[in-house]
Copies of this chain bind each other. A is one copy, B any other.
Amino acid sequence: MHTEIICIGSELLIGSMNTNGAYISEKLATVGLKVNREIAVGDDFPELENVFSESLDRCDIIVTTGGLGPTFDDITREVVSKDTGKKLVPDKNVLKTILEFFEKKKIKMPKVNEKQSYILEGAEIIPNSLGTASGQILEIKNKIIILLPGPPRELKPMFENNVLPYLKKKFERGLLKIKVLHTVGLAESVVDEKIRKIVDIEKKLEGSEVSFSILAKHTGVDMKIIVSGTDEMLIDKTIQNLKKEFYDVLKDSIFGEDNQTLESVVGELLLKKRKTLAVAESCTGGLISHRLTNVAGSSMYFKEGIVTYSDISKKRLLGVKDETLNRYGAVSSDVAQEMAEGIKKTSGTNFGISTTGIAGPKPSSTGKPVGLVFIALASNDGTKVQQFQFTGSRAEIKDKIATAALDILRMNLI
């Protein structure tokens, strides 16, 4: 089943991120459809015509995004019509929904929008509840062509509610499941070495096809286990077995799976153990609090965060001593310790976390290097301080520090 995604829009070729390709390929995988190519092309008639006709030769399934708007440079409908030989026919019902869309906004429909009511002869219409560009599904000579609008907020519900159910029905036989394991604290090369044996051998499992991919981000390494086949029970069992092997070699470095984040896992652990947390941040500047509060319901365990971006704040809000600041400087093990103990005490929580370091891009005035950081965790068992030396941009260093701090708490909770 050769499948391609064609993303149409000149902005994609001058620096805009192609988020639709990533979204659609991930969704197609869930119904057992592996994408062979993703192509981005501009709003350029001859170029798109070439791209589309080549794909039409190769493919069983083509999904296009973009180019369904009302303006002159929206050309997807016309190109597909030309390449497939299917006429564009005005559809009264589609026109009605477009008129209603404008009525609701109390605007008269501009004449150009009429063009959006034209449908390829024989195509099924995919309604768009958030915009005026309907999608279309055309079946032609055992091939399937699916046209979708470009804006992700319009495309996604159309894909979930119409395209996926349609494809599921069509391709009930094939099935593909993805299991993602998230690690933290290990370099890609280390993860790679540890899992090499599993990855090299297990590919030969019978009855289900297995593949792996590794994705290294600056805050950790993700592994994807991709299993396809026809027997769901077998697929699930294969995933379970492989998961176990990964956990055996990577142990606690795996902090979560699939949609879990480090902060959601930390939140679950705090809830489960009925513990509360407060955070005192210097170099991370609020990022740890921000990540913790991205989790719905975090007010159950996260009580307060204090961002002390000056010595005065550290003293007044956290009780850091003048003497400590003078003797060791703000970026020091001792100040980290006093910050963590200070926030724990003032907020009355079970845990206090603190960060103090040099996020960059310039070293401190006293010559402490960019990326140097002290992270402290204060608990009822006392306070532990760890020193790290991170590299990267200011944003990356902030991310790495926040990740390390959350992971220190996680390790304390498991």
Which residues of A pack against B, CB within 8 Å? 9-19, 21-23, 25-26, 29, 34-42, 44, 47, 51, 54, 71, 151, 153, 178, 192, 211, 213, 215-216, 218, 224, 226, 279, 281, 284-290, 292-294, 296, 298-299, 302-310, 312-313, 316-317, 346-347, 359-362, 392, 394-395, 398
Contacts and interface: CB of A to CB of B under 8 A. Distances in A.
A327 to B, nearest CB: 21
Contact of A178 (B14, B23, B285, B298): B14
Given A13-B25, A213-B10, A42 B36 contact: yes
A361 B14 contact: no
Given A12-B38, A306-B306, A285 B296 contact: no
Nearest to A293: B285
Contact of A151 (B16, B39, B41, B216): B216
Nearest to A226: B14
B36 A13 contact: yes
Given A289-B286, A294-B285, A296-B394, A15 B10 contact: no
Contacts of A41: 36-38
Which secondary structure characterizes the binding site on chain A?
A: mixed
A375 to B, nearest CB: 17
A11 B14 CA distance: 23
A216 B66 CA distance: 13
Copies of this chain, tallied across the complex: 2
A208 B85 CA distance: 37
Given A34-B13, A37-B51, A347 B22 contact: no
A279 B309 CA distance: 11
A63 to B, nearest CB: 12
B303 A310 contact: yes
B35 A38 contact: no
B286 A305 contact: yes
B29 A15 contact: yes
Contacts of A303: 309-310, 312-313
A38 B11 CA distance: 12
24 contacts: A10-B211, A11-B224, A13-B36, A13-B37, A14-B25, A14-B178, A14-B226, A15-B22, A15-B23, A17-B18, A18-B21, A37-B41, A37-B51, A71-B192, A279-B307, A285-B305, A286-B290, A287-B293, A294-B394, A302-B309, A303-B309, A303-B312, A304-B308, A306-B307
